[in-house]
Structures are given as structure tokens and as C-alpha cells.
């Protein structure tokens, strides 16, 4: 391979190896991430005899380097020569499993669990199990906590003698001196119980579970609650009462609120695990107590579970239990002193109506809904409104509408813009349920008022709301009710309101169709091209680009094109820019927007977009629903984009700027991604 003059193919590998020790963390990290390339070049033998011993001692490095190393080693089996040699990976992972940084240890344990499956049964006993023992009896708690996560993967595949040793080690760790180890053991108790023979579950696990559940540290006791779910699932019904219930009852009344909170939080799982009989006799009173707990956190957690708990009650006695035991507590929670409790309840209480049926809902639940609709805390009211659909199915929304309206109006005018924003988002849903007449009569004014809100986010949401309303009620409704009002704002003295007209047109043109767009909207847009404020003028250019696809080609050529050409000679730089953008987008073909995207974006970016369900369609713009996906920046960083690709992206970002429904901050997010990639 290597000739007398050297081999330039070795050069990149040589760089990678040297950079394992570069002063720059980023370069070290890059090298570690390409560890498989290095190993491949070294061959399996040198990887085993030279690379791994070196890596075993690099535990001085930064956390992120160690984390990457721990992850790489989990996929290294083939690079050290296959399953036969997989045990060579144990020493570096063992030292990584003892570092102080939890994320690194956890990743090392994850990799160890992975490669344990690649060990033959013999190797597992000769190499892997001794490692678990070493970790379990290590001097420092870090190694002992790591051991806790490894018992369950080797237990099923070892001889009965070794099994007995493993059980003994686990027992020891459950009573370790340091709370961290007991916490680790408690969190793995359920997992370990699952691989144990039932007899040992009864003899060993139960006593450990009982001990951990009465540990002096509440942070240990609360983990035992989680284990309770797994253990209860494993045991036959007749053993639950004696083996599990005493501990569970004790946890539900623990003196630490954190433990009680955990019980409340896991209540549905616990309920399923112990079955209907125990639920009836034991869990119902326990749940009542949690709903009446002295700590608000516990009450809130329990309130969150009200609906699920009631749903999972045995059918024969469900209604009776709810009416006599649960509902009285719920009634008290409606007037709780803590707003988090009330809003937790408000987010699920409507769900009870489907369980209890029409008559009970009207008689017992309706007064509660109405009370919550008048609650002083906006979040409570919002949670009720956002769940209206549940009640609608049972009793029809009309029952509520008289109280609903004042609540909505009040939220719509709330001083906090986030509250206003939240209620706007429910508006289409409400409109659908209340019907067009009610809407026109009571809510239309609100929706229009939001368009001139002093907060941009509200105006933006209001615009989007109109679009959804038109999709729901149809173009004719739009033409009669909202279009005239929107177009009227084009003459508003405030330029921000005039711009809102343009934003509304952007949003509505597609839903309103060609006729309304051409005849009513287009003239207004064109007229606004003479606005004295440059911001309005360049938004005219953007709007023309946006509504282009809805217009016929005649209007494009005779009306849109001249105006854009005039704007392209505007004195303002931005107006010129966006006019030119629009011209290149509109006049080149009858299809507007980002047809060019598929040509300009690097293939890898296109792939990302496709994977994320983003459409580079001929309509041109990415849909709002895709916004959240874009915000998961990590996805972009993974992609290898060339410098040229990044430049191209940057150029596209500029034009994305012009896409409606795609706010500036989204572009910024994309920009951030781009920068990260470089």
C-alpha cells in the first residue's frame, strides 16, 4: 500500500490521529467522531492493541469529547474484529463509566448494554460479568451507579451461579451508603425485576423495593414509586395485596410532597398495574387524599389525572364512584387557592362529560365549567375554552354560550398579549362549534379588532385566523363580512394598519379565490403601491408576488407587471429589491414563488426538507405547520453542507423572507442553522 515515497492516502488519517490531541476541543471532537475512519485505516489488530489502550486513558478530556467517544465505542464491534473480540471495548468503556459527568456515564452504560448483546455467553461470563462486578464494588459511587444499569442485560444469559452473584450485588447496591447509588438502583429496580424469575421477584425484589420505598432520602423513595408499576405488573393478582399494596399506601401518604407528587403523577399507570378491584378499594381513597393534599404541586398533579383515572375505573361502578367520591373533591378544586391546580383541573375536567353523560353533565359539571369560565386566572378560562369540543359532543355548546361570550371577550382584551394570542388560536375551533350566525353576531368584531392590536404577534395571528375562518365559512361569507373591513383599512392613517391589509390579502387570496382576489383585492394592492411609506410599498411588491398564482395571466401582464416595474425603479433600496424579486418570480413563468427552490437548494437540504415533511411546492411557500420542525435546529447541523451550498442557502433565505406565513424569526432560525453548518 505505502510506496517508498509515502502514501498520500494516509495523510488525512494522520491528521485525524494527531487531532485527537489538538488543543482545540472542536478539532478533537471532530476526530473522535471520525474514530471509525481511523480504526478502519489502522486495521482491527492495531485498533485493539494501540488505539483502544490510548483511548482508555483519555478520560481527562472535555465532557463533549468523552460523550462522543462513549457513543462511538458502542458501534465499534466490527472495527475490532467482530463479536469474537468485542470484549476489547470493555476497558475504555469501563473508565468512561466512572467519570463524574452523568451524561458521559449514561452514554458509556448505554454502549456497554449494546455490546453486551454481541458477547457470546462464554465471553459474557469471562469478560463482561467481571466488569459489572468491578464497577459494582468500585471505591467511588460513580462506578457503582453505572453498575446498576448493567445487571439486567447480563442476567438472562449467565449461569445460575453467576445469577446468584448478580442478585447479591444488586442487593448490596440497594443499601449503598451514598444516595446516588441507591437512586440508580431504585431507578433500575423495575427493569431488573422484569428479567428475574418470578420466585426471586417475590423473595428478593419485594424486600429491596420495600427498603428503598422507606429510604431516608425522599429522592430515593420517589423512584421506588416508578418501580412499583413494573413490579405490580409482574406479580399475580393474589400477591399484590400482601407484597405491593402496603408500600404503595405508605408512598401515597409519604411525609415528603415529592413522593406524593410522584404517586399522583404515576397514578394512571399504578391504577392499570394493580387492577380494578384494588383500585376500587384502595386507590379511590388514595386519589381523594391526593386531590385534597396540602401541597399545591401534588393537588395539581392529581387534578391532571382526574379524567384518566375516571376513564379507567371499572365500568360497573364507574359512575357511582365518580359521583360519590371524586366529584366532591373536584368541586373543591374549582375554587382552589392555587392557580396551577385550577388550570390543571380545567385542562381535563371537560373530559368528564363524555364519561358521565348528558344529564349528569348538565346537573353537576356545567356549574363547574361556568365557574371556571369566570375564574380570575386567564389560563383556567383558556383551558376550559380549548377543550370545548368534549362538551359539544355531549350537551351542545349552546348550553355554555351565554357564559362563554363574556369569558371570550374578556380574554380577547386581556392586558397580556400572550393570553390574547392563545384565545385567537381557539377562534376557528369556537367558530366551528358556535356556528356562523353566533359568530357574526358576537365574535366578528373581536376578530377585526385584533387586526389593529398594538402587538405585531397578535396582528399576525389575527391575519392567520381570518384565513382559517374563510376556509371554514367559505368565500361568499368572506366577501360579505370581512373583505370590506380588511380593504377599508388600506386608507387608515396608521401605516401599520395599512400593512395589515396587505398581510390579510396575502393570507386570504387563496381561500377567497380568483374572482374576489382580482376584482376586489388587486385594485387595493395596486393603489397602495403609491403609499408614501416605503415599508408599505415593498410589502405591496411582496403581496403581488404572493397573490400572483391566484390571478389570471392577463391581470398579471397588464396590471401587476407595470406596477412592479415602477416599484423596481423606486428610490428606496428595499422597495427596489423586493420588486425585482417579485418580477423574477412572477413574470418568468405563470407559476410564481419558489419553483426555483428545487434547483437552488443543495440536494442534502432538499432531503432534510423532504424528511421533515416540508414541501418545496409550486405554491412557493412552506406551510405554517412546518415551522416547529424548522425549529429543531439539530437536524440541520447533522447535514454536511458545502460552503457553496451554504451560500446558495443564504441567497434562498433572502427570498424566503418574502414568503408569507414565514416570519422573519423563522428565517433567522434557518440562518442560525446555516451558520452552524459552516
Q: How far from chain centre, in Å, is Cα 123?
A: 41
Cβ count within 10 A of residue 142:
21
- From the list 51-59, 151-159, 428-436, 540-548, the region that binds other proteins by CB under 8 A is 51-59
Q: Per rule CB under 8 A, is residue 643 in the interface with other proteins?
A: no
Q: Interacting stretch for other proteins, rule CB under 8 A, among 9-17, 167-175, 400-408, 654-662? A: 9-17
Q: Which of residues 99-118 bind other proteins (CB under 8 A)?
A: 99-100, 102
Question: CA 345, CA 166: separation in Å to the nearest integer?
Answer: 45
Would you count residue 11 as binding other proteins (CB under 8 A)? yes
Interface with other proteins includes 32 (CB under 8 A)? no
Please tell me whether residue 23 binds other proteins under the rule CB under 8 A: no
Residue 558 to residue 258: CA distance in whole angstroms: 71
- Closer of 52 and 394 to other proteins (Cβ): 52
DSSP characters over 343-390: HHHHTTGGGHHHHHHHHHIIIIIHHHHHHHHT-SSHHHHHHHHHTHHH
HSE-CB for 481 with a 13 A CA cutoff: 22
d(CA 118, CA 600): 45
Q: Show the cell assigned to 644.
A: 457553496
Query: Of 76 and 577, which has the nearer Cβ to other proteins?
Result: 76
**Residue 453, phi-psi category: left (phi > 0), alpha (psi -120 to 50), beta (remainder):** beta
Q: CA dist 121 to 94, 196, 200, 604, 644, Å?
A: 20, 18, 22, 43, 52
Q: Name the residue nearer to other proteins (CB basis): 140 or 456.
A: 140
3-state secondary structure of 3: strand
Query: Contact region for other proteins (CB under 8 A) — 115-123, 174-182, 246-254, 386-394?
Result: 174-182
Assess 25 for contact with other proteins (CB under 8 A).
Answer: no
Residue 2 engages other proteins in binding (rule: CB under 8 A) = yes
Least Å distance between CB 61 and other proteins? 11
Residues contacting other proteins: total by CB under 8 A: 37
Stretch of 12-20, 229-237, 451-459, 538-546 lying at the interface with other proteins (CB under 8 A): 12-20
Q: Exposure of 624 by Cβ count < 10 A (0-12 exposed, 13-18 middle, 19+ buried)? A: middle
Q: Least distance (Å) from other proteins to the CB of residue 179?
A: 5
Task: Mark 54-93 with x for binding to other proteins (rule: CB under 8 A) and - for no binding.
Answer: x--xx-x---------------------------------
CB of 148 to other proteins, least distance (A): 15
* Options 42-50, 286-294, 566-574, 659-667: segment touching other proteins (CB under 8 A): 42-50
Q: Is 456 in the site for other proteins (CB under 8 A)?
A: no
Residue whose C-alpha cell is 502514501: 7
Binding part of the chain for other proteins, among 49-57, 73-81, 247-255, 286-294 by CB under 8 A, reads 49-57
Q: Residue 251 corresponds to which cell in the numbers above?
A: 408512598
Is residue 36 at the binding interface for other proteins, with CB under 8 A as the rule?
no
Q: Give the separation between CA 482 and CA 463, rounded to whole angstroms.
A: 11
- Binding region for other proteins (CB under 8 A) out of 177-185, 460-468, 529-537, 547-555: 177-185
Minimum Å gap between C-beta 410 and other proteins is: 31
Name which position in 31, 142, 360, 500 contacts other proteins (CB under 8 A). Answer: 142
User: At closest approach, how far in Å is the CB of 481 from other proteins?
Assistant: 48
What are phi and psi for residue 176, nearest 5 degrees? -60, 155
Of the candidates 426, 427, 434, 472, the residue with the CA atom closest to the CA atom of residue 448: 427
Rank residues 338 and 403 by Cβ distance to other proteins and give the closer one. 338
For residue 587, what are the contacts with CB-CB under 8 A and spacing of at least 6? Answer: 556, 561, 564
* Residue 185 binds to other proteins (criterion: CB under 8 A): no
Residue 98 binds other proteins, judged by CB under 8 A = yes
Q: Are 420 and 411 in contact (CB under 8 A)?
A: yes
Residue 40 interacts with other proteins (CB under 8 A): yes or no: no
CB of 58 to other proteins, least distance (A): 8
The single-letter DSSP state of residue 294 is S
Binding status of residue 599 toward other proteins by CB under 8 A? no
Beta carbon of residue 193, minimum distance to other proteins (angstroms, whole number): 24
Please give the residues from 214 up to 243 whose contact with other proteins meets the rule CB under 8 A.
Answer: 217, 219
CB atoms within 10 A of CB 637: 12
Q: Is 45 in the site for other proteins (CB under 8 A)?
A: no
Q: Which is nearer to other proteins, 81 or 351 (CB)?
A: 81
| Under 8 Å between Cβ of 124 and 158 | yes
According to the 3-state scheme, what is the secondary structure of 148-213? HCCHHHHHHHCCHHHHHHHHHHHHHHHCCCCHHHHHHHHHHHHHHHHHCCHHHHHHHHHHHHHHHH
618 touches other proteins by CB under 8 A: no
Which CB, 51 or 124, lies closer to other proteins? 51
**DSSP for 227-274, written as a single string:** HHHHHHHHS-HHHHHHHTHHHHHHHHT-SSHHHHHHHHHTHHHHHHHH
| Candidate list 85, 141, 369, 503; residue touching other proteins; CB under 8 A | 141
Total residue count of the chain as it appears in this document: 678
179 binds other proteins (CB under 8 A): yes
| Residues of the shown chain interacting with other proteins in the complex, contacts defined by CB under 8 A | 2, 5-8, 10-11, 13-15, 17-18, 20-21, 41-42, 46, 50-51, 53-54, 57-58, 60, 98-100, 102, 140-143, 178-180, 217, 219
Amino acid at each position: 500500500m505505502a510506496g517508498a515515497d509515502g502514501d498520500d492516502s494516509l495523510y488525512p488519517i494522520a491528521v485525524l490521529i494527531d487531532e485527537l490531541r489538538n488543543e482545540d476541543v472542536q478539532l478533537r471532537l471532530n476526530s473522535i467522531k471520525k474514530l471509525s475512519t481511523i480504526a478502519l485505516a489502522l486495521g482491527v489488530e492495531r485498533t485493539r492493541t494501540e488505539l483502544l489502550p490510548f483511548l482508555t486513558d483519555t478520560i481527562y478530556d472535555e465532557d463533549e469529547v468523552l460523550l462522543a467517544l462513549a457513543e462511538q465505542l458502542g458501534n465499534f464491534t466490527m472495527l475490532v474484529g467482530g463479536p469474537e473480540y468485542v470484549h476489547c471495548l470493555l476497558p475504555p468503556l469501563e473508565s468512561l463509566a466512572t467519570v463524574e459527568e452523568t451524561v458521559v456515564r449514561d452514554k458509556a452504560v448505554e454502549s456497554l448494554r449494546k455490546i453486551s448483546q454481541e458477547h457470546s455467553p462464554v465471553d459474557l461470563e469471562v469478560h463482561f460479568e467481571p466488569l459489572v462486578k468491578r464497577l459494582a464494588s468500585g471505591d467511588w459511587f460513580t462506578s457503582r451507579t453505572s453498575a446498576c444499569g448493567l445487571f439486567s442485560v447480563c442476567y438472562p444469559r449467565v449461569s445460575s451461579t453467576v445469577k446468584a452473584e448478580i442478585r447479591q450485588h444488586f442487593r448490596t447496591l440497594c443499601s449503598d451508603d451514598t444516595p446516588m447509588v441507591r437512586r440508580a438502583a431504585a431507578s433500575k429496580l423495575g427493569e431488573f425485576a422484569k428479567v428475574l424469575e418470578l420466585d426471586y421477584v417475590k423473595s428478593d425484589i419485594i424486600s429491596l423495593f420495600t427498603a428503598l420505598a422507606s429510604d431516608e432520602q425522599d429522592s430515593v423513595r420517589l423512584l421506588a414509586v416508578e418501580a412499583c408499576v413494573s413490579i405490580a405488573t409482574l406479580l399475580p393478582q393474589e400477591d399484590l395485596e400482601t407484597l405491593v399494596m402496603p408500600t404503595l399506601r405508605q408512598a401515597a401518604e409519604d411525609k415528603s410532597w415529592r413522593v406524593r407528587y410522584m404517586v399522583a403523577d404515576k397514578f394512571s399507570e399504578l391504577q392499570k398495574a394493580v387492577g380494578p378491584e384494588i383500585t376500587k378499594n384502595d386507590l379511590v381513597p388514595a386519589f381523594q387524599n391526593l386531590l385534597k393534599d396540602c401541597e399545591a404541586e401534588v393537588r395539581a398533579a392529581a387534578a391532571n389525572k382526574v379524567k384518566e383515572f375516571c376513564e379507567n375505573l371499572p365500568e360497573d361502578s364507574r359512575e357511582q364512584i365518580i359521583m360519590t367520591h371524586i366529584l366532591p373533591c373536584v368541586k373543591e378544586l374549582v375554587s382552589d387557592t392555587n392557580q396551577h391546580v385550577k388550570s390543571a383541573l380545567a385542562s381535563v375536567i371537560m373530559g368528564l362529560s363524555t364519561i358521565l353523560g348528558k344529564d349528569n353533565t348538565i346537573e353537576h359539571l356545567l356549574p363547574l365549567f361556568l365557574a371556571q369560565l369566570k375564574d380570575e386566572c386567564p389560563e383556567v378560562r383558556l383551558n376550559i375554552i380549548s377543550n370545548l369540543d368534549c362538551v359539544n359532543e355531549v350537551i351542545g355548546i349552546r348550553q355554555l354560550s351565554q357564559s362563554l361570550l363574556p369569558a371570550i371577550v374578556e380574554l380577547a382584551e386581556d392586558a397580556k398579549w400572550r393570553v390574547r394570542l392563545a384565545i385567537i388560536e381557539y377562534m376557528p375551533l369556537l367558530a366551528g362549534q358556535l356556528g356562523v350566525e353566533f359568530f357574526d353576531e358576537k365574535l366578528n368584531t373581536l376578530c377585526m379588532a385584533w387586526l389593529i392590536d398594538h402587538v405585531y404577534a397578535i396582528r399576525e395571528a389575527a391575519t392567520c385566523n381570518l384565513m382559517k375562518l374563510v376556509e371554514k365559512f367559505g368565500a361568499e361569507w368572506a366577501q360579505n363580512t370581512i373583505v370590506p373591513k380588511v380593504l377599508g383599512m388600506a386608507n387608515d392613517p396608521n401605516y401599520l394598519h395599512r400593512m395589515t391589509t396587505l398581510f390579510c390579502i396575502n393570507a386570504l387570496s387563496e381561500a377567497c379565490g380568483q374572482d374576489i382576489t382580482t376584482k376586489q383585492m388587486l385594485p387595493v394592492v395596486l393603489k397602495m403601491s403609491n403609499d408614501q411609506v416605503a415599508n408599505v410599498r415593498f410589502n405591496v411588491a411582496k403581496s403581488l408576488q404572493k397573490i400572483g398564482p391566484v390571478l389570471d395571466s392577463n391581470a398579471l401582464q397588464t396590471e401587476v407587471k407595470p406596477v412592479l416595474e415602477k416599484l423596481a425603479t423606486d428610490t428606496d433600496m428595499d422597495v427596489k429589491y423586493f420588486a425585482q424579486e417579485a418580477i423574477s418570480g412572477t413574470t418568468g413563468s405563470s407559476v410564481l414563488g419558489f419553483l426555483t427552490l428545487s434547483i437552488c437548494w443543495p440536494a442534502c437540504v432538499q432531503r432534510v426538507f423532504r424528511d421533515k415533511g416540508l414541501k418545496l411546492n409550486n405554491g412557493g411557500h412552506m406551510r405554517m405547520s412546518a415551522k416547529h420542525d424548522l425549529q429543531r435546529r439539530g437536524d440541520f447541523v447533522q447535514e454536511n453542507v458545502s460552503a457553496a451550498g451554504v451560500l446558495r442557502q443564504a441567497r434562498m433565505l433572502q427570498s424566503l423572507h418574502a414568503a408569507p406565513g414565514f416570519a422573519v424569526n423563522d428565517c433567522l432560525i434557518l440562518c442560525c442553522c446555516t451558520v452552524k453548518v459552516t
